[in-house]
A and B are shown apart, each in its own frame.
Chain A
Amino acid sequence: MEKDFTRLNYYEMLDIKPNATALEIRVAYNSALQMYQPDSLVSYSFFSQKERKEILARLEKAYFTLINEKEREIYNGELVRAGVLKSTEISPAAKGLVSIFEFNRQKDTPGMPKIHSSELKEKFSQNQRIREIISRQEIKGADLKEIRNELGVTIETIHQQTKIRLDYLHWVEDDKTEKLPAAVFLKGFIKSYLKCLCIEPADEISARYMNSLEHKN
């Protein structure tokens, strides 16, 4: 229930946008030929010989018009006057940056404050409570949570920065020891957690955390 093929404009005929580049036009013409050529399997028996000849002639005319810059300009002018196209559609698309690699990285969502390490360091050095916690021999998940809260960093931010699974982070902070991953992984997680909060010395504190965990078990 669409427009008759004979009434399509050259762009519609070749399935391209009005601002297509010469290369795109050539590729489109090539794939159209693949479909409509007499020995093509795709359109076998679909058209009578006469129809096929007409279609091929039309396609050829479309191709030679669009590939020639001057003729294309004239043809575009006709389409604009007929109201089929808007002049803005014809102008080549603005060239912008093209992303070559699509990393599966979460974009920074607005409303989620970024961590500024200098700010954190300052807070860390001034906050009495944090220093008190760090100086303890035994460090638990609840302590880590308290430090995080003192610094005003959300758990989601940490998850985003460290790529540690959110449920692991929750389990660590809530001291759900039975659910925690193996010690090798856990130690690494704690280290990056602390580094993310700019707490020094991360190595030593995480070792103390692991020790307290062992004690408990």
Chain B
Amino acid sequence: MAHIWPIGGGKGGSGKSFLASSLGRLLAKAGKKTLLIDLDLGAANLHTMVDVPYPDKCFSDFVSRKINLLEDTVLATPFPHLFLISGAHDSLDIANLSYEKKIKTLKSIAKLKYEHIILDLGAGTAINTLDFFLASGNGIFVTTPEPTSIENVYRLMRAIYLRRIRHYFTTDEFKALEKKVKELLGDDYFNKPENIVAVVRKEFPEKFALIRKDFNSFHFKLILNQLRKQDSVELGSQICKIIKKHLGLHVDFAGNIAYDEHVHDAICQRVSFLDRYPHTRAANDLRELNRKMSNSFGEQLILNYL
């Protein structure tokens, strides 16, 4: 069973793909068979990050049934042990992946034989993104220390929270719940999933017990990317504290990654940042992060799809 690491972050440009490719490289370098899947549907560019500029097959081929098995869309990269499912030539309407196809994709991912699978997700809170993020309890949130990015990561967390609750209800049940929430708390309260849980606790105690157990098994992580010298190093742990206190979600602060101009250079030259600038602060942070994360695993929720 592979360890699945979904990487999401709400806002674009926060470094999700960069992080996915860097972590992938580090895991592969440690001799672990690692697969990167570009699930930033419609805005894929992970292939550029791992130096596969002209992929000859892609995720879309699996969705359109041109290729029957997801395994067959896997591409080798120039790096040993590192593999890629690219989204480079995805059809232009791929972003609106239908429910059946999404479930089919998740089932296929669960069957892949790799030690680590990293899912690079898109910005925003589209339902598909949320479901891919919830493929595993190891999800990683990426944010930069800017209000815009933090705003979006909070939004994403709440959306994921609500989506997970939604998984426990049928359509009709959920409608009834929505109605109850409106009655009890007023209209705008639906945007605060933490309040919905209070209603669930009262109205559906047996479901509440399940949800609670589920949420306690999560090992979500937060990474603060592009931290400049003047930014507070405490920010990440404070964010996790607030989430724990007010949302009741356990998110471990995994670490800061220093801002580095060289990242831009490395991406422009289309070379690996870690190989080109191995002695920078950011590279150090990445290695430290990888070391820390490899021994903390959450539950593999994707088992539900098998």
What 0/1 pattern do residues 26 to 50 of A give for CB contact below 8 A with B? 0000010011000001111111000
- The one of B147, B198, B234, B246 in contact with A44, judged by C-beta atoms closer than 8 angstroms, is B147
The distance in angstroms between the C-alpha atoms of A15 and B237, with both chains bound, is 14
Which of A31, A43, A47 is most buried by chain B, counting CB atoms within 10 A of its CB?
A43
Q: How far is the CA of A44 from the CA of B150 in the complex (A)?
A: 7
Interface residue count on the B side (C-beta < 8 Å): 23
In terms of DSSP, what is the predominant structure of the interface of chain B? helix
Q: Are B241 and A46 in contact (CB under 8 A)?
A: no
- Please tell me if A5 contacts chain B, counting CB pairs below 8 Å: yes
Residue B2 is within 8 A (CB to CB) of chain A in the complex: no
Most B CB within 10 A of own CB, among A1, A5, A31: A1
- Asked if B110 is an interface residue, CB under 8 A from chain A, the answer is no
Does B74 have its Cβ within 8 Å of any Cβ on chain A?
A: no
Query: What's the least CB distance linking A13 to chain B, in Å?
Result: 9
User: B242 is contacted by which of A1, A4, A46 (Cβ under 8 Å)?
Assistant: A46
**Does A2 count as interface, using CB distance less than 8 angstroms?**
yes
Q: In the complex, how many angstroms separate the beta carbon of B159 from the nearest chain A beta carbon?
A: 13
Closest Cβ–Cβ distance, residue B41 to chain A (whole Å): 26
Residue of B nearest to A45 (CB): B151
Most buried by B among A5, A31, A43, A46: A46
Is B235's CB under 8 angstroms from A41's CB? yes
B151 touches A1 (CB 8 A): no
* A 1-18 to B, binary, CB cutoff 8 A, 1 in contact else 0: 110110000000001000
A41→B147 contact, CB < 8 A = yes
Residues from chain A with a CB closer than 8 A to the CB of B151 are 44-45
Chain A residue, CB-CB nearest to B155: A45
Q: Does the CB pair A35–B154 fall under 8 Å? A: no
- The reply to whether B154 and A45 contact each other, CB–CB distance below 8 Å, is yes
Q: Report the Cα distance A106→B215, complex, angstroms.
A: 42
- Chain A residues lying within 8 Å of B215, measured Cβ to Cβ, are 1
| Sampled A-B contacts (28; CB under 8 Å) | A1-B212, A1-B215, A1-B216, A2-B244, A2-B245, A2-B248, A5-B246, A15-B241, A31-B238, A34-B234, A34-B238, A35-B238, A35-B241, A42-B150, A42-B235, A42-B238, A42-B239, A43-B242, A44-B147, A44-B150, A44-B151, A45-B147, A45-B151, A45-B154, A45-B155, A46-B154, A46-B246, A47-B246
Given contacts A1-B248, A2-B244, A35-B242, 17 further A-B contacts (CB under 8 A): A1-B211, A2-B245, A4-B198, A15-B241, A31-B238, A34-B234, A41-B147, A41-B150, A42-B235, A42-B238, A42-B242, A44-B147, A44-B151, A45-B150, A45-B151, A46-B242, A46-B246
